[in-house]
Chains A and B, each alone.
Chain A
Amino acid sequence: DAGVTQSPTHLIKTRGQHVTLRCSPISGHKSVSWYQQVLGQGPQFIFQYYEKEERGRGNFPDRFSARQFPNYSSELNVNALLLGDSALYLCASSLGRGFTQYFGPGTRLLVL
Chain B
Amino acid sequence: KNEVEQSPQNLTAQEGEFITINCSYSVGISALHWLQQHPGGGIVSLFMLSSGKKKHGRLIATINIQEKHSSLHITASHPRDSAVYICAVNSGGSNYKLTFGKGTLLTVNP
Contact = CB atoms under 8 A, between A and B. Distances in A.
Contacts, number: 68
Interface of A: 31, 33, 35, 37, 40-45, 48, 50, 55-56, 58, 88, 90, 92, 94, 96-98, 100-103, 105-106, 108
Given A44-B100, A45-B99, A55 B94 contact: yes
The 9 closest A-B pairs by CB, nearest first: A56-B95, A42-B100, A103-B43, A106-B41, A42-B102, A45-B97, A56-B97, A55-B95, A48-B96
Contacts of B101: 42
A104 B86 CA distance: 16
B42 A105 contact: yes
Contacts of B44: 103
B41 A105 contact: yes
Contact of A48 (B40, B97, B103): B97
Interface of B: 4, 30-31, 33, 35, 40-45, 48, 86, 88, 94-103
Contacts of B99: 45
Given A48-B97, A56-B95, A101-B45, A41 B102 contact: yes
A98 B30 contact: yes
Per DSSP, are chain B's interface residues mostly helix, strand or loop, or mixed? strand
A33 B100 CA distance: 14
B48 A42 contact: no
A108 B88 CA distance: 21
Contacts of A55: 94-96
Given A45-B98, A48-B96, A55-B96, A88 B45 contact: no
Nearest to A89: B41
B51 to A, nearest CB: 13
Contacts of B4: 42
Nearest to A107: B41
**A35, A37, A40, A101 pick with most chain B CB within 10 angstroms:** A101
